[in-house]
Amino acid sequence: YFSADYLGYKGSGSITGIPIYLDKLYLSSDANYVKLGCGIGIELGGIVSGKTDFTIRSKTSYENNKLHWKYDKFILNSIHVGANIAEVLTLNGSVTMYENDPLYGNGFSGSLNLEMKKVLEDLKLSARAYFGNNGYDYWMADANIHIPGGIPCGPVTLNGFSGGISSRMKRIASKKSEELDRYIPDENYGLGLKAGIMASFCSDNLVSAEATFEIIFNKHGGLNFIGIYGNASFLEKMGAGALGTL
């Protein structure tokens, strides 16, 4: 007989002579399944790194008062990739899988952040996306780019642009300016479109602002939301707002 809600290890244990390390190892169970999870990573010369988390699931059953385990499924939970190439290019990306999630159902989300350091210094690109099904298909993708030096337009400098498109997803506004708005599935929402700019006035240190225009239709084709929202900072340089964790 075996029963354990969760039993695991989380740390960093390396394998001698091989650039692979154990990030975590855990065992969990419920009424129907036993799950063995593992997180492993790899470091290649401080240039490229990667990490993945997966689960091996077995179905439990009783026969003649004996517990039996039978392999059921291999589940890939997440993948993370990073690169720092010759101090010129920095890249970080991740993909997270969902299965029977109470909010997102089945699907995946991903994010990508790219930054140039020497060539096109201060060029930053961020993107994220959701694709899934929670009784209905939904998806969303958005991105922004920060332009080195900006585009001067008189006393105003355009520092970057953003845009996005969504279907059957609702925007949840962030309560903090440095955090991204969340998008969650909602079958009452239809197609959504948004476009934004990042700008500074006189100098980045005086006034920096970001404004986004968004329009979202409902599932019948009518208008659900239309508006302009954003934020501004005074006497403080505002960053590009990387799109990071989903």
> pLDDT value at position 239?
47
Q: How many CB atoms lie within 10 A of CB 230?
A: 14
Q: Within 10 Å of residue 175's Cβ, how many Cβ atoms?
A: 6
- What would the mean pLDDT of 61-80 be, rounded to a whole number? 84
Which range scores top for mean pLDDT: 45-54, 147-156, 184-193? 184-193
- CA 134 and chain centroid, separation: 18
pLDDT at 1: 46
Average of per-residue pLDDT across 5-28: 65
% of the chain beyond a pLDDT of 90 = 32
Portion of the chain with pLDDT greater than 70, in percent: 84
Report residue 231 as tokens: 């934020």
Going by pLDDT thresholds of 50, 70 and 90, the confidence category of residue 201 is confident
Who has greater pLDDT, 219 or 67? 219
User: What's the whole-number mean pLDDT along residues 211-230?
Assistant: 90
At residue 205, the pLDDT reads: 61
Distance CA 213, CA 195 (A): 5
- Chain mean pLDDT for the chain: 82
Task: Give the mean pLDDT of 162-187.
Answer: 85
Contact indicator for 128, 109 with CB cutoff of 8 Å: yes
Whether residue 210 has pLDDT greater than 80: yes
Tokens linked to 118? 């020497």
Mean pLDDT of 237-246: 41
| Rounded average pLDDT over 226-233 | 85
- Tell whether the model's pLDDT for residue 61 goes beyond 50: yes
pTM: 0.76
Residue whose tokens read 């740390």: 11
Dist. CA 53–CA 24, nearest whole Å: 9
Residues 6+ apart with CB under 8 A from 145: 123, 124, 125, 126, 160, 161, 162
Please state the three-class secondary structure of the chain as a single string: CCCCCCEEEEEEEEECCEEEEEEEEEEEECCCEEEEEEEEEEEECCCEEEEEEEEEEEEEEEECCEEEEEEEEEEEEEEEEEEEECCCEEEEEEEEEEEEECCCEEEEEEEEEEEECCCCCCCEEEEEEEEEECCCEEEEEEEEEEEEEEEEECCEEEEEEEEEEEECEEEECCCCCCCCCEEEECCCEEEEEEEEEEEEECECCCEEEEEEEEEEEECCCCEEEEEEEEEEEECCCCCCCCCCCC
Residue 191 has pLDDT above 80, yes or no: yes
Give one word for 163, left, alpha or beta, with left for phi > 0 and alpha for psi -120 to 50: beta
Q: 146: burial class by Cβ within 10 Å (0-12, 13-18, 19+)?
A: buried
